[in-house]
Structure 1
Amino acid sequence: MKKHLVFVIALSAGLISCATNRASETDPHAEILLKRNNLGGISNTVFFTCGDDECIDKNKTDRLFVFSWATADEKNILIPVNKPFPLFATSGRVTGATNTTGTPGVYQLTGVSCADLIQFMPQAGKRYEVVQTNAFPNCPVAVRDAATNEIVPTKSLPIKGSAFGVQ
């Protein structure tokens, strides 16, 4: 679990390059409403997408939004339609801090984290709500049609071997 937390912190620092997998208002598009995964305490949730359908190419990742204690609870984003849209979410929460060096203000953090990589087929004009659930250890991503509240079919993608591969 500890190495996953380091992974979450690295992602939220923006250490992965960006590519575009978003739509403009003039393009056919759908809207996703990303929602915070409230793990409690000092926590964050990061949403990414990719320029390739399976999220294999590390050079085609795009950070959509980082939720933290200092951000809003929701974020609207326009996305392309009529093609598979990959979505990676990772969340982490600090569970403890220990001063192992004796130096004031220097702490080793411990925590828990989880990640999920899915794909769904957005349709033009639709609005979707997306949240990463708190069901450890994967914390699956749930996609709902905002108008009907129906769960949207998704395809799970393997994280290992993807651009986000947690080894």
Structure 2
Amino acid sequence: METSEMLLPGGYRLFDQEGNMMMGNRREEFNVNNRSFLNIDMYFSQEVSGRINKLLSERPEKQILVLDLAGGTESRAVKDIEKEQKFGNRVKALNIDFAQNIEKGEGARRVQGDATQVPLADSCVDIVYSRQFLPFIRRFNPGHVLLVKKVLSEVARVLKPEGMAFLDDEEELSDIKSD
């Protein structure tokens, strides 16, 4: 196996071109995805919270399930959703990430899993969101086209017919500075 390959989910190791390990499966090595829900929602122009609020008003008796795909080990956005008082206890959030020692905590549910084999039933999720996961796959996996196709197929499978997915496919421009 070449060192530039990314092993998902078996090895949980990421190597650069020179063979140096860049990330592993320890919590402290997966900080980039641990964003707040406010950050995620702002990135998607408040469409995620808007969709949650719309579903809450349209279906007052039903629970809403939100899936944070590859949300990081701390599951910060998932925790934020479940703490959000205006959503009440009708919104449940779930984070699926391949990091092995994903944090456990009150309220939010977190699962170590593979985005190409989401451990959920068909048509059970109202909203899926993921920030920078698709660019991550593209950047570090030689077989990214097939892998992205599998991830998108899983998103389509778990979404309810009226469900909505919020996914980005652009690199973070954090190194750009303005005057």
TM-score of the pair, normalised by structure 1: 0.30
Higher strand proportion (structure 1 or 2): 1
Structure with greater helix share of residues: 2
TM-score for the superposition, normalised by structure 2: 0.29
